[in-house]
Amino acid sequence: MKNFMLLRVPAESKSEAFIRNTVASFSIELNPTIDQLEDIKMAVSEAVTNCVVHAYKDRIQGEIEVFAEIINSEIHIRITDFGCGINNITEALSPYFTTDNTTERAGIGFTVMRSFMDDLSVKNNEYGGVTVLMRKNLIKED
């Protein structure tokens, strides 16, 4: 089985709930558990929040692109911004690292994403911005 969805929305705080719930709804065809749905929602929420908070800090407006695909028993999620990118991805992936010292940011977004998903990768895009790739197997364990 293979199915996909694609969204492109403004990088605004109000988009976070829409994206989170849309991706969770999309995954329903695999009949996930409530815990698996919550894992997906939490990881997507963190990825989108990173886009909103960090990607466009020097620009007035930007966009977030969300692609989700179901392949067999897995959901693959790609969240892309077109903003400033990440200077050092290895450093950014370490717990408690943040580039925003002006507000109360814990620096654990990528750690949270990794803890709720089976796989996480982060890369800078060739023409600016960041892509977060996440994967979760939704086979129920007995």
What is the set of active-site residues? 46, 50, 105
Q: Quote the radius of gyration of the chain (alpha carbons, Å).
A: 15
- H or E segment and range at residue 23: helix 13-26
The CA dihedral of 38, 27, 63, 105, to the nearest 10 degrees, is 20
Instruction: Determine contact, residues 77/60, Cβ cutoff 8 Å.
Output: no
